[in-house]
Structure 1
């Protein structure tokens, strides 16, 4: 169905090829997983299938890519639309209509399908992806994960022969990710759909793959094999494979079930040993507050003009943090409305200096809204929010940025210079930091990004690393991150964890909204689970995630009932 014949792609102005020597076949009715570190060319390979490379990206493509017999170099994306359905890393760039139901129907309208067929397929897709309750909602009002499901649904309705998916579960909660992957598996097994997908969260998808294509390094020739064969040599691998390597299991397990069957001896070795916390507790208690009604802005603190979100998110001050010690964040009885929906209801949260809190929950639970309230982008309907002792929605941006920094889900909101070097130089000036501070953070988070690279030409993971570095340069007392590992491979995530642990050790408070249970296990002191805008669990990470089938990390599931969270904990216990 898909054939790569010695494909070479090089973009204009780049120092070397994005990919080369790509030569493999994806048969009809198979799910093939494309893996590799960030920036090795996975999105380029996917783009060559849909015709986006080179028709929209430019550059040089040598070799041949055919889909259902059509050469993608001589067929533009619109000439492949009846065969190939594509969902990129950024669902917002995919949408062309305003509401969920219209978006699901749009692709079929473009292909001229009959109205009764369109209606039936829309209903089927709404049910498959759990979108029925959202059918009339504006897409702009949905959470990032909900938008991801709509984007996937919009390419399913035309029933393409080939699906090309770039990070399809990156913005989904664990349950929603399982639902989407189950749908893809059903399409492959029952309808013969061919699926080629790239994904960094291998713990979610590797067990569904028929074969795996590994791109080990930029420009390197791919390695093709079964999931077990490739995971044995891959530089990127999920925690269950890491645990199997540590324990010496052969063949390596790909699923929790396989690992549990082999884990008896390992559990015996670990019996009586207490896991060492990968993150120490916060250094102080932030306390709590109570409030029963909205807190209007005092006349002398209200900004004269509401800040533009883009300028507000990007810090523009060199002023130091306030000298008077204050709790980084205190939220009391908070309610927030988004149109007709009450996105948050009676939320209480206190964050201590040096503490890392992971906000978790289903898509649409209110995680991003809570971060928006902490940074002043939304106004409380009831209750109060205090960040560094001030109400953020009442505080002028130049004063608020001394207290809090936000890395949003879309890193492009923070990036507007023409090169990585220019972004870093601006970040250093804005933060009053020594020249080179931001660039050092970029190199630490994601090595290999060139100074003259344009941010728009970076992969999603590389853009996120750059945005993180821009915000971290100022080292704000309260750091907020919304899905910070989206698009990051395991090595980049490990470097991010190290940076954030260092900030927490220096007394910075960190609140991150994430669906990445492995990140929460590695980094968070506390986990707060939201459901329908309310806090339903708040406690130490081990206590909360071990008790939750949905939010437990892979190591916990393998070694239960023992309360291990990470491979690092197990490795340390075995070596001591």
Structure 2
């Protein structure tokens, strides 16, 4: 179904990969992994025809998809979800987002209705079909894009980081779904638990390598980080509460967040976890003072977070967005980091220290939007560190990062906590919770249902 022979791909002087040989049979599921920048996305774009039809590149060798050159009359037979999946969303409602490509395929009205209903139900979005897609959580939005791709009935499914924003159950459901579908699937992902479910895994490095499922599973032992099995970070509750929440309510469309009471101690490292749409980001934005509650109080350092001026709040609590592109705007890394420093009248040397802490000093004159996503996240973090806030809230900081990138940013988060910063991190990655986080707040349907040490959390939810 897909044949690649002696493929070399270059963008100008940048050689993405060289000498790639690969044959994929109908119905096969291939995982693709490798360091950021090794060509995972480029390979998917090439198979879809996005390269070279939209992005020019030098292509040497042979690439055929269903017996044709990519993009040559097979557009409807190849579906893709890109890693920046938000860029694929165009519909005014959840329902119409799925309907749009089906209408372009000129399917009968009854068939369109049938497919919309099926995939909305499958991904748990049927009750939100009339909502604006941008009112969904990040995980729900990713589910919607997945539903849109799968609803087309394409014979070949290309998925780039499809689990990056999905919760534990969502990742399992996707693995089960791909196993049930009689489709050819090529999935680029960093999650080894996702990759080990595929027939084969292609590792893109200096020399591309293809391994069987059994060989890949055998190599997972090398990926075990830090402590051994059964060893958890010790939870030591702080006596001094830096954040206190009481009788909190926030209504967003048909969703309501309700938190009766929550205390986070000074210097703690806490994870907020739960299913997609449980209210994790909604709660985090309220804790940071970005949004205001409809009822109740969020107190930081004994005062309501909304009572602080913007300048004072920036020195106390900072929020790093799930997508770093939502908070970057400058044309140079150093200007991005200096922006807050100058506005708050701080020592400009703080910007230098922020860049040094995240290891980006040598990239200070580069355009942040030309950097890999992992580096863009570090730019956002450097901008925050330069302000020296007491509390830092991270919303899915490891999304889209390769394994070394995850270890790097989690090491920085641990270092910041060791230096006295209070850290709150939203994550779906169980192994990150297991190895780094002492305390876990578990949310369901807009409520906190458990507040546990990691040891107890893993016993109950892992």
Q: Output the TM-score relative to the length of structure 1.
A: 0.74
Counterpart in the other structure of 2:355: 439
Give 1:467 deviation, angstroms. 2.3
Contact 2:115 2:151 in 1 (8 A): yes
Taking the TM superposition and a 5 Å limit, the aligned residue runs for 1:275-314 are 277-278=232-233, 281=236, 284-287=238-241
Contact 2:33 2:201 in 1 (8 A): yes
Q: How many residue pairs were aligned?
A: 459
1:140 aligns with 2:95: no
Taking the TM superposition and a 5 Å limit, the aligned residue runs for 1:106-505 are 106-187=100-181, 191=182, 193-203=183-193, 205-216=194-205, 220-230=206-216, 237=220, 242=223, 277-278=232-233, 281=236, 284-287=238-241, 327=242, 329-342=243-256, 344-420=257-333, 422-424=335-337, 426=339, 432=347, 433-434=349-350, 436-443=352-359, 454-505=367-418
Give 1:223 deviation, angstroms. 0.3
Contact 1:35 1:215 in 2 (8 A): yes
Structure 1 residues 280 and 346: CA distance shift in structure 2, 3 A: closer
Taking the TM superposition and a 5 Å limit, the aligned residue runs for 1:20-31 are 20-31=18-29
Q: Counterpart of 1:377 in 2: which secondary structure? A: coil
| Distance (whole Å) between structure 1 residues aligned to residue 235 and residue 352 of structure 2 | 30
| Distance (whole Å) between structure 2 residues aligned to residue 231 and residue 451 of structure 1 | 40
| Distance (whole Å) between structure 1 residues aligned to residue 196 and residue 327 of structure 2 | 36
Q: Counterpart of 1:70 in 2: which secondary structure? A: coil
Contact 1:279 1:522 in 2 (8 A): no
Which deviates the most, 405-414 or 423-432? 423-432
Counterpart in the other structure of 1:317: none
1:533 aligns with 2:449: no
Structure 1 residues 69 and 452: CA distance shift in structure 2, 3 A: farther
- After superposition, the C-alpha distances for 1:91-138 in whole angstroms (9 at most, x for unaligned) are 211111121111111111111111111111112212322222222222
Counterpart in the other structure of 1:290: none
Contact 1:497 1:522 in 2 (8 A): no
Counterpart in the other structure of 1:19: 17
1:3 aligns with 2:3: yes
Structure 1 residues 225 and 276: CA distance shift in structure 2, 3 A: closer
Larger strand fraction of residues: 2
| Distance (whole Å) between structure 2 residues aligned to residue 479 and residue 5 of structure 1 | 48
Give 1:532 deviation, angstroms. 0.9
Structure 1 residues 384 and 224: CA distance shift in structure 2, 3 A: same
Counterpart in the other structure of 2:53: 55
| Distance (whole Å) between structure 1 residues aligned to residue 334 and residue 63 of structure 2 | 35
Counterpart in the other structure of 1:292: none
Structure 1 residues 492 and 473: CA distance shift in structure 2, 3 A: farther
Give 1:376 deviation, angstroms. 1.7
| Distance (whole Å) between structure 2 residues aligned to residue 212 and residue 428 of structure 1 | 45
Counterpart in the other structure of 2:433: 520
Contact 1:285 1:351 in 2 (8 A): no
Query: RMSD of the TM alignment (CA)?
Result: 2.7
